[in-house]
Amino acid sequence: MIDENIIECLENVANILRLHSIRPTTKAKSGHPTSCLSSAEIVATLFFNVMNVDPKHIDYLDNDEFILSKGHAAPVLYAALAEIGVFPREKLMTLRQFDSELEGHPVPRVKGIRVATGSLGQGLSIGLGMAYAKRLLGINRRVYVLLGDGEVAEGSVWEAINLAGKLKVSNLIAILDMNRLGQSEPTMFQWDGEAYARRVEAFGWNTTICNGHDVKDLLRAFEEARKSDKPFFIIAKTTKGKGISFLENIEGRHGTALSEEELKRAESEILPKIKEIKFQPSNFIEAKISIEPRKKYSIKTDYKIGDMIATREAFGRALVKLGEQNERMVVLDGDVKNSTFTIYFFNKFPERSLQCYIAEQNMVGVAVGLQSQGFDVFLSSFACFLSRAYDQIRMASYSRANLKIAGSHAGVSIGEDGPSQMGLEDLALFRAVFGSIVLYPCDAVSAEKLTCAMANYEGISYIRTTRPKTPVIYSNDEEFHVGGSKALRCSANDEVTVVAAGVTVHEALKAYEKLKADGINIRVIDCYSVKPLDAETLIKASKETKHIITVEDHYPEGGLGEAVASLGLKPHILAVRKMPHSGKPEELLAEQGIDAGGIVRKVKELIL
């Protein structure tokens, strides 16, 4: 039997959350109060009865986790955190202000919020990553994800449902706030809970349908979820705007705050329902497991000058070396592990490897969830396919996520597979991510050392690896650091500086030999750190030589050349400017003018 006093108390809390949602949004003159109102009982039941939480240490790992995937309902989450004592209630009225941590959509500036949400369709993937992480850590806790019914039209949601069902992650509970109304019109299935249930069950989940405003029915649903041996999906039928008569089930009020006059009317309906009740939640715990501080790592290489090794393979070797030192390292791949060479890590550490299949958006979301639990996460795919997950990567930066991303098969140098497999936009994409670093090694030594640099970086890091084998040009004692470069050929008589990265470094070195035979000296710089650049070296080179040329296996927009130009320099940019197609790597590089012959022609054009 459910204690009727508990039900009364939870209903009371729900109305308090409603009040805390409408007042701040009216003050801010913006927000999504009606979406908060529909989920008030769900959130109240979770935070004050169902979830195991320690309000004093809510950032510890042995708490249950809550993700507000429908991030526009942030005020109701802030209200719950304030009511359990994470921060003072007075702060709620600072919502959306310039100097407030309570932003319009959740970001991890407040304890109790680990990740950024608001770009819809991403929370369930992150929740899957968190639930999987707790399984790896041996922590018997659950992850609850509150979804809006509008966002389940996103394919990424179904990618997460698919993988969670396959993995049988029984500590993952999704709650659908089925309030019928989207932003501009009714949602796809409106209040047809059975339509959602049939689809979700087909992916290996258990489901139940409940009244999302009936606390007793919600408690029944959450109890079913506790007993489930599969991931569990609660379909809660709700009413948008619930609790305020003139807003209930009304279209056109999705992102509209109440006016001052409407607020007074709403308060007159809600306040009489709020009672002075002494309520001591039974779900508060004493959490004890904090996230361990991250460590720094180093690796050694054992190559000979001239060895022919693809940088993608060297990346895979480096992962194994790092995995031997770091028990909290996890590697994810999107069904290309035999091409990205993460297969080396998968074979050595199967328990810390996760096959995410061809679902890159979900893979990035899962990685965000894993890293939020203290894991160091590497993930890889072909560079071109990572563009599918760009929104997840963008949002990961707002989550302050620590992700190490590898994109292989970059550029026309992949050869015969053709343009659908050629990553030609990736440098631009990753350079634009806030706080990111972008690395592009040219040989096995630099690839391994830069993979280690990624492991030691806190934030979003990207390494671009190459399909064809390239010769080792660096000795094993060479060191590489973020923001560095290497002047491979340099003299006081250099007339032109050639700045290259990755595969074009080898073309620049060939060009150096051809030009030297003609009595022309050029400086060759391996710009292995595309972001941040080694500004000091590049500016110095531009002053000491007459011209600067950049050469890259990438489109000119947003690539190496434009990065160098951002320093105030005026490089001549050699890049992929013609429609790419199938062919041998050397043919394709030549056609685009980014091989040794193209560099030689450009140098002579400038100085002769």
Both structure tokens of 112? 């109790």
Of 12-16, 75-79, 279-283, which range is least confident?
A: 279-283
Residues pairing with 529 in the sheet? 439
Which residue has tokens 């009489």? 272
Residue 440 · residue 312 · CB < 8 Å? no
Residue 470 · residue 337 · CB < 8 Å? no
Judged against a pLDDT cut of 80, whether residue 2 lies above it is answered with: no
Judged against a pLDDT cut of 80, whether residue 1 lies above it is answered with: no
pLDDT digits (tens, 9 = 90+) for 219-245: 999 999 999 999 999 999 999 999 999
pLDDT of residue 3: 85
Which residue has tokens 């056109």? 252
* pTM of the predicted protein model: 0.97
Both structure tokens of 410? 């970059």
What average pLDDT does the segment 173-191 reach?
96
Distance between CA atoms of residues 286 and 181, nearest Å: 39
Average pLDDT over the chain reads 97
pLDDT digits (tens, 9 = 90+) for 369-412: 999 999 999 999 999 999 999 999 999 999 999 999 999 999 99
Instruction: For the chain, state the CA radius of gyration.
Output: 27
Of 442, 436, 523, 443, which is closest to residue 482 (Cα–Cα)? 436
Judged against a pLDDT cut of 80, whether residue 164 lies above it is answered with: yes
What average pLDDT does the segment 169-185 reach?
97
Res. 278 pLDDT band, cuts 50 70 90 = confident
Q: What is the DSSP string of 125-180?
A: HHHHHHHHHHHHHT----EEEEEETTGGGSHHHHHHHHHHHHHT-TTEEEEEEE-S
Residue 456 exposed, middle or buried by CB count within 10 Å (0-12, 13-18, 19+): middle
Res. 519 pLDDT band, cuts 50 70 90 = very high
| All structural domains of the chain | 4-273 (3.40.50.970), 308-471 (3.40.50.970), 486-607 (3.40.50.920)
* N-terminal to C-terminal alpha carbon distance within the chain: 92
* Residue 371, phi then psi, degrees to nearest 5: -70, -25
Judged against a pLDDT cut of 90, whether residue 4 lies above it is answered with: no
What average pLDDT does the segment 339-356 reach?
98
What average pLDDT does the segment 159-178 reach?
98
pLDDT of residue 168: 98
Identify the active-site residue in 83, 360, 425, 562: 360
Q: Which residue has the higher pLDDT, 526 or 2?
A: 526
What average pLDDT does the segment 42-50 reach?
98
Of 47, 34, 9, 43, which is closest to residue 243 (Cα–Cα)? 34
pLDDT digits (tens, 9 = 90+) for 532-590: 999 999 999 999 999 999 999 999 999 999 999 999 999 999 999 999 999 999 999 99
pLDDT of residue 326: 98
What average pLDDT does the segment 23-34 reach?
98
292 is catalytic: no
